[in-house]
Structure 1
C-alpha cells in the first residue's frame, strides 16, 4: 500500500514533472557509488543553525491603491524537545505596517507533494509578486515574466510562505537526517514547530491566524488544526486549496464517484458534449446528481448489476463524460483518471493535463493507455523555477550558500510514511479529516473554506465535497464551512478571472473569521 500511495501523492503535487533517472547498466552499481552516497551533501552541510532574516522594503500598486510592505526571506531554526536543532526552515514573509501592529492577521502558506517546495503558491497565488502563467499553454521561454500581483492577499493579511524540510532552502540540522522528516506525523511536527517559532520570534501570538494549504498541503493543514491547538495556537480559519484529506478515498468505487463530475467538466471544456452547450454550473449540478445517485448505486451492486443496467449507466456516462459507451463498458463502468486523460482526446491525438486539464499535449504513442507526462506541469515548471530564482537571488539579493530545490521527490523516494496517529487512533493511510473535525468541535468559531478547480484531475472537487461533508459535524459548526468553485485547474489562481474571484472570496472569508 505504501508504494502505491506514494506514487499517487507525488502526482498530487503541482510539480509532478520529472524525467525518470535511468538505472546504471548491469547488476552492479557504478564504481565508487557507495562511497559517493556516503559523503555528506554539501548543500545540506551548508545550512546554518543561526537564524537569519534579510528584509527589503517594497511597494505595490494595486487596482485601487498603493501598498507598502516589507519582504523578509530568512531561516528559522526549529529544535526538538531537548533543545537540539532539527532543521533550518526557509520562509519568505510579507508584512504591512498599517498601524494594527501585532493584531494584523497573519497567514501561513505551503504547497504539498509530499516533496514540493512552496514555490507555486509563493510565485503564483496571493503574494505581491506573480509569475505570468495566465494562459493554459506553454509559457514562453526566458526571460520569464513576473511582476505586481493585482489579486494579492497582502492587503487583507500578512503572508508567510514556508518550504517543507529538504525542499526549497529548508534543510536538516545537527544530527537530523532528511528521512527524519519523511512522514505524515514527522512533517506535521516540523511545520507546527516552525509556525510556533515564527509567532514567538516576531511577536505574533495575538494576531488572527490563518493557514492556506494546497494539495497534500491540505492534508497537512487539516492535521495542523489539532497539532497547533495542542501547542496553544488557536486558528481563526483554514483555507484548503485543491483538497485531499482522506487517502483512502482514492481507492475503490467512491473514487470513481468522486472523479465523474470532473470528467464531465472536461468533456464540456474540450467540446465533447452535445450542442447546444449547456451552462457550465448546470452541467456540474447534473453530473453531481448522476454521480451520487444512479452511478453510485450501480457501482455498489458489484457483480449483481444486470446487463441492461450496465448499458443504461454507460449511456448516461457517455453523454456526460465524452467517452464512448463501448470504452466505458470495457472499463466495467470504472474509468481511472490516467486513462481518462489519454482517452478523452484520443481522436485528436492529444492528451490532457492532470493538474489542469485545460492544458493539452501530445505523446509518442497515440495508442497508449495513459499519458507519459503532465501537460500542465511541462508547460509552467520552468517559468516558476526560473522566476523564483531570479526574484529571490537577484531582485531581493538573498544571500545563502544553498541552492533552491523546487522539489525533493527523488530524495523522498519510497521513504514517506503515510501512517498517521490521528485523534481517533492509528491510521495505516492518512485521513486528517478526523483531526480537522475535532479541531472545529474544539474551536467552534474557526472557519473553513474549500477552494476547488473544476478542471483538476488530481484532487477532484466532488471528492473534497465528500470528505468534508462526512466529518460528522453538528449543523451549527457545518455553518462555518464554505465551498467555492472556479473554471480552472488545481492551481486556479494562475487563471486571471478565477484569481480575481478567489481574492474577493478570500476577503469575505477573512472578514467573517475575525
Structure 2
C-alpha cells in the first residue's frame, strides 16, 4: 500500500512537471516554417515562399544569447539568385518590431487601410500590388525584444542582468555588432553570398543600417550595393543650435499648406513651390538670423519673424514669443488651435483632440494611436493564420530595450567610410514632407553633410513624398516609393564588366 501511494505521488509529480513545461511560454531558439503563395505585382503573377522562423545570436563561446524572429520572402519562379537582390529590412525605435515596413511597404501584403492610410475594419491585410518582391527577395528582421525575438538564459539557466543585456544588445554599437553576425549567418544559411545585398532601415533603423554598412564590410567581409534610409535620424551627424531650429521651418510650411493654414498667396501655390521658397529662406536668411542670437538687430528680427510666421502659419506674435525658435510640440498644439484640434507627430496630416484647447503640446500622438488600430491586429492575424507561425509568445510592437546606450554614435561617418571603401555602395534617402519627428529637411541636411568632400554626392539621392514618417501608408506614395526602390536597385547593380574601382 505504501509503495503504491509513493508510486502515485511520483506519477503525479511527473505529470505536474510535464504540464508546467508544456505551458511555459517561450520562443523556439532555432525554427522555421515555410508556406507557398502567389500574388500580382504591377499586373504580373509572382510565385513566392514565405519563411517565418527564429535564428540564434551566439556569443564568442558559441552559446545562444538571443534568438531573432524573421520573415523571409523569396520568389520561387527565379532559380538563379546570384543576380537577384536580397533586401534586409529593419524598423527603428529603438525597440520597434519590423511590422511597419513588413505589412505596409515593401512586402507582398499591406494593411487594410484607406487611400490616405487611415484604419478600416475588419482589420487585416490585402495584396500589395506594388511590392518590390518581383525584383528582390526580402527578409524582415526583428531585433532583440521586438516581435517574437527574445534574450535567452545563459548556459546556467539564468537570465543576464539588465546591464549585461545593455552591453550585449541595447546600444548603438552593440546593436550593430550582433546584427552583423546574425546577417552573416542568415546569408550563409540561405546561400545568398553571391547576391547583390541591400539594407533598408526606417527611423532609428537608419542609424542601424548606416552602422551595419561598415560593420558588415570590416567584420564580416560582406559588401553591399545599397543602403536605403527611410525617414532618417541624424545618424550621428549633429544638427544642434540654430540648425536644429531653422531646419523645422520647411516641414512647418508643408504641414500648414496641407491644412490650408497659409496666407492665400502661398496657399494657392503647389506644395513643391512653397517648399522651394521655404527652403531658400531657411538656408539663406533664417539660419543666419538665428545664429546672431540675442544680438540680432530689432528691425531684422521683426522682418525674419514675419517671414517665419508667413511660412509656418503661426501668428508673428507667437514666433517672437518663442524667440523665433519654435518647438515641434508647440507647433502641433498651436497651428490649428482655432479649430480646436492638434496635429500628429509622425504624420501631421492626422488630427487629435485634447482635454483643453490651451497648452503647449498635444495630449497624445494622434497618428500613432491611429496606426496601432490596424497594425497590431493585422500582424498577429497575418503571422498566425496566413503564414502559419504559431506561438503563445506575445508579438512586441515595441519592446523593452531601454535605457539605450546612444554614446559614440558615428554611424553617419561609418556609412561615409563604407561608401569610400566600396565604389559599388550607393545611398537613397526617402522622407515624407509631413513627418514632424524626423523632418524631411533634416534628412536633406544629413545627406548634404554625409560626404563633406563632395566626391561621392553622385551616389547619394533624395526622394520626398506627400505624407509622413511612414509615407507608404498613403496609396500614391506606396506606389511611388516602391517604384523608387525598384529604380534604385536597377541603377546600383553594375554590369558584369564593371569593376569596383575608382
TM-score (norm 2): 0.88
> What does the per-residue CA deviation read over 1:293-337, in whole Å, with 9 as the maximum and x for residues that have no partner?
110010110121011111101110111110000000000000011
SS of the aligned residue for 2:456 comes to helix
1:181 Cα offset (Å): 1.4
| Number of equivalences | 459
Counterpart Cα distance in 2 of 1:395 and 1:64: 22
Report whether the alignment pairs 1:64 with 2:43: yes
1:189 — aligned with what?
A: 177
Find the aligned partners of 2:330 and 2:410 in 1 and give their Cα distance: 26
Alignment of 1:109 with 2:89, yes or no, is yes
Q: Contact 1:433/1:471 (CA < 8 Å) preserved in 2?
A: yes
Q: Distance in 1 between matches of 2:56 and 2:447?
A: 34
* DSSP-derived class of the 1:501 partner: helix
SS in 2 for 1:67: strand
Deviations 1:186-245 (A, max 9, x none): 111221122111101111111100011000000111111111111111000000000113
1:29 paired residue number = none
Find out whether 1:351 has 2:342 as its counterpart. yes
Q: Which structure 2 segments of 5+ residues have no match?
A: 1-21, 494-502
For residue 423 of structure 2, the aligned residue among 422, 441, 444 is 444
| Bigger mean CA deviation after superposition, 461-470 or 347-356 | 461-470
SS in 2 for 1:182: coil
Aligned to 2:358: 367
Structure 1 Cα separation of the partners of residues 117 and 356 of structure 2: 21
Moved more, 167-176 or 356-365: 167-176
State whether structure 2 residue 123 is matched by structure 1 residue 144. Answer: yes
Query: Are 2:302 and 1:332 equivalent residues in the alignment?
Result: no
Give the distance between the partners of 1:366 and 1:160, measured in 2 at CA: 45
Counterpart residue number, 1:203:
191
Distance in 2 (CA, whole Å) between partners of 1:288 and 1:256 is 13
Say if 2:464 is the partner of 1:485: yes
Is 1:275 aligned with 2:275? Answer: no
Listed as ranges, the matches of 1:33-432 within 5 Å are 46-49=26-29, 51-97=30-76, 98-136=78-116, 138-140=118-120, 142-175=121-154, 177=160, 178-179=165-166, 180-230=168-218, 231-246=220-235, 249=238, 251-276=240-265, 277-408=268-399, 411-413=400-402, 415-420=403-408, 430-432=409-411
Counterpart Cα distance in 1 of 2:411 and 2:390: 37
Counterpart-to-counterpart distance in 2, 1:127 and 1:437: 29
Q: Structure 1 residues 435 and 45, CA, compared in 2 at 3 Å: closer, same or farther? A: farther
Inter-partner Cα distance in structure 2 for 1:431 and 1:308 = 41
Q: Separation in 2 of the partners of 1:55 and 1:245?
A: 38
2:451 alignment counterpart: 472
Please give the residue correspondences for 1:452-471 in structure 2 after superposition, counting only pairs within 5 Å: 452-471=431-450
**CA offsets 1:425-465 (integer angstroms, 9 cap, x no match):** xxxxx242111111111112211100010000010111111
Change over 3 Å in CA distance of 1:44–1:434 after alignment to 2: farther
**C-alpha distance in 2, partners of 1:63/1:511?**
16
SS of 1:278's partner is coil
The whole-number CA distance in structure 2 between the counterparts of 1:128 and 1:206 is 24
Which moves more between the two structures, 239-248 or 494-503? 239-248
1:130/1:274 CA distance change after superposition, 3 Å: same
- Alpha-carbon distance in 2 for matches of 1:447, 1:501: 20
Tell me what 1:511 maps to.
Answer: 490
